[in-house]
Chain A
Amino acid sequence: MSRVVVTGLGLVIANGIGVANAWNALMNGKDGTAELKSFDTSQYKVHRACEIKDFKIDTVFENETTANTIHKYTYTAAKEALKDSGLGDITGCNRERFGIAIGTLAGELPPFEYLLRNTPEDKTNGFDMGVALTYPPSSITTLLSEDFGFEGPNMVSLNACSSGNHAIAWALDLLYEGKVDVMLVGGGELIPQTEFTHFHNLKALAPEMCQPFDKERKGLIIGEGAGIMVLETLDFASKRNAEIYAELKGYGMSCDGHHMTAPHPEGAGAIVAMSNALSMANISYADVDYINAHGTGTPLNDRMETMAIKSVFKERAKGIPVSSIKSMIGHTMGAASAIESVVSCLAIKNNAVPPTIHYETPDPECDLDYVPNEGRETKVNCVINNSFAFGGNNVTNIFSRL
């Protein structure tokens, strides 16, 4: 069984497009939050989101409907990741050993919304040929397969806010099994008005900003974007002398089995996910240098996650930097854990951790080192990346320096 490594990264997030821009923005604590522009929010109490700005479409779309698809982000990030890994051209490779797994929460809902918004009397107005082609979530991976000529297995992970980590875990198993050499994995999301309304009416949206772990935290800010990475077996990477960011050491899954929308109050499922990941990776809790938190900025999640971290990391808990980049790029839902996986690899590469911004008032219930407001240079050899989704669906991934 060959080990599995990360050899390429791609990012499209609200504070930066492209890995170099995005990492720079994250380390400098740049907030991507602004007035939401893609639909009218006058009927809502919240008007802010982390949208992608100044985006130039680098792909050809058949019509106006398909131009609103997730593909514009996943394609851009995938192209960057493949180029970065040196697999931009796979001529001569066995394409059946190149697969794709992408996570999303809402899939291609925005093209439908775009059509129906203007003619809301009849639901069938939301469908045209463009929507008919892109609506099934599998269109996300089909388009990427066609773009890059991959012919291996495909999967779209519909697992709410842990979709990206599920896709990465699924791909790791395929690579370990020896069925594939390379997997393009990650997540993509747009901001559908439907999800904005859903979070708004659950009173989960913060009015101004996302303040994870702060005593005054008021909820999440919705975001969009894509994070993509190239995973390959160490054998395959070594043969072609690829540069390696990190090793994907394992994952831990669990579900709360508790409630459709609220997390388990003591973080039982989160504890199991982190513990399972450490155990699959054969890494001691004492060897983790950075925790990329789920940290949504909602009162329930951040308290629960803090309790769970304390339970797993015991006496080490207060000594490990824990940060939430959702403070800067919002909660990108199905893409979030994939984007955070990319950032976890960058933390290892750069020996630095991005901050949790908007952190002002300590919460006695959240008493860890959240890397407040300023990025930090520190030795990072091993990172865990948490994702805890609605319905109690938890996946934690572990990356470490090879």
Chain B
Amino acid sequence: MKKKAVITGIGVVSPLGIGHQDFWNNLVSGNSAIAPMECLDLSKYECKNGAEVKGLNPEEYLGRKGLRYLNKGTKFLGSGAKLAVDDANLEIDEELSNHTGIIIGSSLGNFSQTTDYFHDIVRDGPSDLSPMQSYDVALNSSINYVSVFFKMKGFARTISSGFTSGTDAIGNAIKLIQNGKAKVIITGGVEQISLDLYMIFYLRKMLAGSDGAGSEISMPFDKRRNGFIMSEGSYVFVMEDYDHALSRGARIYGEISGYGSLFTGSRNSDIGKRVEKAVNTMKSCIDDAGICTDDIDLISANGNSGKLSDLIEAKAINKLFGESGTEIPVHSVKSTLGESYGASGAAQTASALLSINNGLVPPTINCEEKDPECSLNIVNKKLEKEINTVLINSFDLSGNNSCLVVKKYE
């Protein structure tokens, strides 16, 4: 009998609010976090909107000591982790620290701080740089910071797999709980908006508005959709071995019971092949959870407003779910939250757990002129419904397709 991986704490640092209550209230109310970006000078570029984290006071969570050496991503992750651990009412004492690890997904980690450091080297010369300038510039230094902050002894792992990074980190964490490598794992995703992130999406014309026409908003599955809105934040969970959670009387938000991941196919693949890969991934995840498609009450779509990616996802859902594919409720948190890249699967996981606990599905806003090629039951108004099992889709057009099943705790 496999051990069960349950979630007992949720920590959110997001453009829709700090802490999971604010995040949830704004998400179910359909309040959008999308606005012209303030942290970057985009005067030379046509795409200006984004979803930024605002109002985070990291000192509240991490204390003052050493804070000035930490970069934005580390403040996001550290604050998110502290919120999650406090939410779980968990004390990581010396004994438990030996059985506690951290696995976080982030596509870029602190890459933009690394390139800032290089920019300083070539502009000012290497000799004037102090070692403290590179204190927190390793791609994985945010995760190391959290492991040191909580004095964890188990393990620390950063997974980078593009858009599916957070999903893959959570999927890996389930397995390490199931095979007994840890009792507690701090898991989830983190990503930060930076000039680097902007440039790679902008040059690849993936951002909403990059075709020079249409509005710069996120419109998943709407026929006017024209790219995604970049977002940021950290979505962190305390995942526990069920028996451990039970023994300490922890509140359980739900179980992560299935995970599946496959490569999406090469960049030359046609739509048919891509649909097939998305179908196979969802299927392998549902099989991993030991359930069938009829058990799924809600699909948390990848739906990031990308022209091609939303179409592939809709066709894949139709294909896998057959007739019920047009009826099963589908929503995308990215309509209000934007596309948080390596953190997005973790953001969807937070939303799925809160849907299960509150009996509510957040609306997919801006889906007003439904794309006739995407024949899905898109939830575009807040929906009251008992939710027991959610399928989370996390798709990268040039990387993995990854899925999770989140289940009510029984």
Contact-size category for A: 35 or more
Asked, given contacts A170-B172, A198-B134, whether A156 binds B153 with beta carbons under 8 Å apart, the answer is: no
Q: Which of A109, A151, A261: most chain B CB closer than 10 A?
A: A151
Do A157 and B157 form a contact, CB below 8 Å, given A113-B118, A258-B148, A260-B141? yes
Most buried by B among A120, A121, A198: A198
Report Cα–Cα, A131/B204, bound state, in Å.
10
A interface secondary structure, majority? mixed
Choose one: A107, A127, A197; the contact of B139 (CB below 8 Å): A107
Taking a contact as CB atoms under 8 Å apart, the answer to whether A120 and B123 are in contact is: yes
| CB contact between A138 and one of B101, B156, B181, B396 (< 8 Å): that residue | B396
Choice from A139, A201, A254 contacting B154 with Cβ under 8 Å: A254
Is A126 in contact with B115, judged by CB distance below 8 angstroms?
A: yes
Binary contact readout A139-167 vs B (1 if CB under 8 angstroms, 0 otherwise): 10110011000111111111110000010
Q: Which residues on the A side are within 8 Å of B101 (C-beta)?
A: 253, 255
Q: How long is the Cα–Cα vector from A141 to B136 in the complex, in angstroms? A: 26
Q: Which of A107, A109, A117, A392 contacts B144 (CB 8 A)?
A: A392
The CA-CA distance from A113 to B121 in the complex, in Å, is: 10
* Residues of B participating in the A interface, judged by any CB pair closer than 8 Å: 97-98, 101-102, 106-109, 111, 114-119, 121-123, 125-127, 129-131, 134-141, 143-145, 147-148, 150-162, 165, 168, 172, 175-176, 179, 181, 195-196, 199-200, 203-204, 261-263, 265-267, 277, 280, 396, 398-400, 402
A136 / chain B contacts, CB cutoff of 8 Å: 107-108, 160, 162, 200
Asked if A255 contacts B152 (CB within 8 A), the reply is: yes
A99 nearest in chain B by CB position:
B263
A158 touches B126 (CB 8 A): no
Chain A residues with CB below 8 A from B151, complex form? 257-258
Query: Which residues of A have CB within 8 Å of B117?
Result: 194, 197-198
Q: Is the CB of B396 within 8 A of A173?
A: no
Return chain B residues, CB-CB under 8 Å to A177: 175
Q: Quote the shortest CB–CB distance from A178 to chain B (angstroms).
A: 11
B154 contact set on A, CB distance < 8 A? 253-255
A141 to B266 CA separation, bound complex (whole angstroms): 11
Question: Which of B121, B136, B267, B396 is most buried by chain A, counting CB atoms within 10 A of its CB?
Answer: B121
What residues on A are CB-neighbors of B130 within 8 Å? 201
Would you call A43 and B162 a contact (CB within 8 A)? Answer: no
B204's contact among A44, A133, A138, by CB below 8 Å, is which? A133
Q: A123 in the interface, Cβ–Cβ < 8 Å?
A: yes
CB distance from A111 to the nearest CB of B (A): 11
In Å, the complex CA distance between A201 and B121 comes to: 11
- A153→B263 contact, CB < 8 A: yes
CB pair A138–B107 under 8 Å, yes or no, is: yes
CA distance A136 to B342 in the complex (A): 10
Query: Which chain A residues numbered 238 to 266 have a C-beta less than 8 Å away from chain B?
Result: 253-261
Find A137's partner among B143, B160, B398 (CB 8 Å cutoff).
Answer: B160
Contact in complex: B107, A391 (CB < 8 Å): no
Bound form: Cα–Cα A127–B200 in Å: 8
| Residues of chain A having any CB pair with chain B under 8 Å | 43-44, 96, 99, 105-107, 109, 112-113, 116-117, 120-121, 123-124, 126-129, 131-133, 135-139, 141-142, 145-146, 150-160, 166, 170, 173, 176-177, 192-194, 197-198, 200-202, 253-261, 268-269, 272, 390-393, 395
- A135-B200 contact, Cβ under 8 Å, with A255-B156, A260-B141: yes
Give Cα A133–Cα B115 distance, bound, in whole angstroms: 16
A201-B199 in contact (CB<8A): no
Q: Which of B155, B158, B160, B199 has the most CB of A within 10 A?
A: B155
Residue of B nearest to A394 (CB): B155
Considering the chains assembled together, what is the distance between the CA atoms of A127 and B195 in angstroms? Answer: 10
Chain B residues positioned under 8 Å from A197 (CB to CB): 117-118, 121, 126, 129, 134
Q: Which 3 A-B pairs have the closest CB atoms?
A: A391-B144, A253-B155, A138-B162
Which residues does chain B contribute within 8 Å of A202, judged by CB atoms?
131, 134
A152 contacts across to B, CB distance below 8 A: 262-263
Q: Which of B118, B125, B145, B152 contacts A109 (CB 8 A)?
A: B118
| Residue among A99, A129, A160 with max Cβ neighbours from chain B (10 Å) | A160
Determine whether the beta carbon of A154 is less than 8 Å from that of B119: no
Q: Is the CB of A138 within 8 A of B152?
A: no
CA distance A395 to B175 in the complex (A): 18
CB<8 Å pairs between A and B, sample of 12:
A43-B125, A107-B139, A132-B203, A141-B161, A153-B261, A154-B263, A197-B129, A198-B137, A255-B152, A260-B135, A260-B136, A393-B155
Q: Are A43 and B127 in contact (CB under 8 A)?
A: yes
Cβ-closest chain A residue relative to B399: A138
Q: Which of A123, A153, A390 contacts B262 (CB 8 A)?
A: A153
